Structure 1
Amino acid sequence: MVIIREGGQLLNNHYMDKLTFEQYMELAKESFSGWDFGWLERTGRMAVGNLSWNYYNEVLPYVRASKSMLDMGTGGGEFLRLLQPLPRITYATEGYLPNIEVAKAALSPYGVEVIPVDEDEHLPLASEQFDLIINRHESYAASEVWRLLRPGGIFITQQCGGQNDIELNGWLGAPPPEHFQWSLSTAEDQLAKQSFEILRTKAEATHTRFFDIGALVYYLNIIQWQIEDFSEARYQKPLEALHERLGKDGYLDTTCDRFLIAARKPMG
């Protein structure tokens, strides 16, 4: 309760310091393009814990030393643009249809051709074409990475592990995602079986923090692989329960599961 003054008189009034569930659901309908969660992060409604490495700094020395490069799963081209000047020959792939035109518009001024892809195992690119392949949070087939790299070429990927955001599935009563066993050891084994030389690995779990149910629903609408049948209507009751929990606790934390691998295709 808060005391307010009106017309010289002190009045009691109930103060609403939280939006309703329905109001937050309206915020969750904000449009999304590319692959940028900045709208949530700039407002502070979602915050991701810091890792002990920085992917930009991991890849930049290799970008500068390469003559040809592929960015797998470029999203809207947001990260790739940060790495300019890019190698003279730079391609990007993208499999999410709404992002393709966004990426083309963003990257064409830099001479980057964006290649639409349907499956990881068959990318429409020539063999042994690249000195460097980077991959940030995109699925891949180790055999295709091997095919596309020149001998001596480098593959650097930062991946979301299978335990990423796993709490969301539990809270909503949804089955675990298809990729819930994906991990550094699994990825490392796949690359080693393909005869890659593993140069560097790192794995870490921090947290992603959500401060309102609208931010959480907006996020789930984007990461459709986490809960494949997700919709507000289908999961309304557990979402309302989480809204109540947020009202009491102020935030919800999920696991932010990340790992990094740098690998080389041997010469000869």
Structure 2
Amino acid sequence: MPDAVPAHRPVPPADASFEEHVEWARTVPVVGSDLSPVDGHVVEEELPWNYERLARELVASGRGPVLDLGTGDGEMLASLGPFPPRSAATEGWAPHLPVARRRLEPLGLEVRPVGGEGLLPFLDAQFAVVLDRHEAFDPDEVWRVLEPGGIFLTQQVDTRDGTRVNAALGARMPWDPDSVTLDGAVEVLREVGFVVDVARGHDGVRRFRDLGSLLWYLRARAWKVPELATSSPEAVARYEAPLRALHLHFAGGNEFVDEAPRFLVVARKPW
């Protein structure tokens, strides 16, 4: 049976009170990577490519076993099957592991945990395709587990993502905004020997339409402003002045537009 979708209260109107928005954001549950509670209230610009279609074509290509890096709860990967024998996935966040295993093991995929050092728990040349949607990768490890002629498909979040929200809140960026870029990814892949067949970037945007949705989004993406990851009273008090300014902005019928750049790379390990 499919996983149950939790019910949640609708987002308050943009001009509802500051306190009502904070209470909503603090009490509506965050479940994995699911953003449905803010559907229509946090809107990302559509990408000019379709990662899922490209991944599905590679899975169905008959090349051989597929590895998915950072599969999360496994929902997207599960939609790409059926899978070649000996296909697998990795996940580094412990709460996602049992969910991914329940979803993917019945489809014939093994799900293995990985640590922060980037090492992959697989043999050399074990896979014909490596997929990676938004997971950090070690190019040497991807090269090692791919067989000659194998394909690496990755869609990545450029680390300029979220910079405008952090600036509006006066919050320090917890990462270097130049650390993950299209040019950098292409460079490191070529350095280990990959042939890069596709390299596309997109300077997308993310639109927030009310304070409650923005605060809840910062809970769901806790690494962006770690101090606001729980919307605790202490954290809200610390950022109260910029949060109230944003609330007035939203209550006046305005959106807040943040950066949401993405890039896509298709690389090939030569024969």
Deviations 1:27-76 (A, max 9, x none): 223222332323322xx111111111111122222111232011111111
Unmatched 5+ residue regions in structure 1? 1-15
Asked if 1:89 corresponds to 2:86, the answer is yes
- Shift in Å at residue 26 of structure 1? 2.6
What TM-score results when the alignment is normalised by the length of structure 2? 0.86
- Shift in Å at residue 17 of structure 1? 7.2
When structure 1 is superposed on structure 2, of 69-78 and 218-227 the one drifting more is 218-227
Asked if 1:248 corresponds to 2:252, the answer is yes
Instruction: Give me the whole-angstrom Cα distance separating, in 1, the residues matched to 2:58 and 2:114.
Output: 25
Task: Select 1:220's aligned residue among 218, 221, 225.
Answer: 218
Residue in 2 that maps onto 1:261: 265
Are the counterparts in 2 of residues 161 and 259 from structure 1 also a CA contact under 8 Å?
yes
Are the counterparts in 1 of residues 92 and 115 from structure 2 also a CA contact under 8 Å?
yes
Residue in 2 that maps onto 1:211: 209
Q: Structure 1 counterpart of 2:45, which letter?
A: G
Instruction: Give me the whole-angstrom Cα distance separating, in 2, the residues matched to 1:67 and 1:87.
Output: 6
Larger radius of gyration: 1
Task: Select 1:58's aligned residue among 54, 77, 94.
Answer: 54
Instruction: Give me the whole-angstrom Cα distance separating, in 1, the residues matched to 2:206 and 2:135.
Output: 19
Instruction: Give me the whole-angstrom Cα distance separating, in 2, the residues matched to 1:125 and 1:80.
Output: 19
Within a 5 Å distance, the mapping from 1:226-237 to structure 2 comes to 226-231=224-229, 232=231, 233=235, 234-237=238-241
Q: Structure 1 counterpart of 2:107, which letter?
A: Y
When structure 1 is superposed on structure 2, of 113-122 and 131-140 the one drifting more is 113-122
Asked if 1:151 corresponds to 2:113, the answer is no
Are the counterparts in 1 of residues 30 and 219 from structure 2 also a CA contact under 8 Å?
no
Q: Structure 1 counterpart of 2:151, which letter?
A: I
* Runs of 4 or more above 4 Å deviation: none
| Overall identity of the aligned pairs, in % | 36
Deviations 1:138-189 (A, max 9, x none): 1111111111111111100000101112101101111223141021001110
* Count of aligned residue pairs for this structure pair: 250
- Shift in Å at residue 226 of structure 1? 2.1
What TM-score results when the alignment is normalised by the length of structure 1? 0.87
Residue in 2 that maps onto 1:133: 130
Instruction: Give me the whole-angstrom Cα distance separating, in 2, the residues matched to 1:32 and 1:94.
Output: 19
Are the counterparts in 2 of residues 34 and 103 from structure 1 also a CA contact under 8 Å?
no
Unmatched 5+ residue regions in structure 2? 1-12
Within a 5 Å distance, the mapping from 1:1-150 to structure 2 comes to 18-28=15-25, 29-41=27-39, 44-65=40-61, 66-150=63-147
Residue in 1 that maps onto 2:10: none
- Shift in Å at residue 120 of structure 1? 4.4
Are the counterparts in 1 of residues 127 and 145 from structure 2 also a CA contact under 8 Å?
yes
When structure 1 is superposed on structure 2, of 113-122 and 228-237 the one drifting more is 228-237
Counterparts in 2 of 1:34 and 1:107: CA distance versus 1, 3 Å: farther
Asked if 1:188 corresponds to 2:192, the answer is no
Between Structure 1 and Structure 2, which shows a larger proportion of strand residues?
A: 1
Counterparts in 2 of 1:253 and 1:107: CA distance versus 1, 3 Å: same
Deviations 1:188-216 (A, max 9, x none): 10101111110101001121111111111
Q: Structure 1 counterpart of 2:258, which letter?
A: T
Instruction: Give me the whole-angstrom Cα distance separating, in 2, the residues matched to 1:71 and 1:59.
Output: 10
Q: Structure 2 counterpart of 1:116, which letter?
A: P
- Shift in Å at residue 115 of structure 1? 1.1
Asked if 1:166 corresponds to 2:170, the answer is no
Q: Structure 1 counterpart of 2:228, which letter?
A: F
Q: Structure 1 counterpart of 2:24, which letter?
A: L
Asked if 1:178 corresponds to 2:175, the answer is yes
Instruction: Give me the whole-angstrom Cα distance separating, in 2, the residues matched to 1:226 and 1:35.
Output: 14
Deviations 1:69-97 (A, max 9, x none): 11111111111011011222221111122
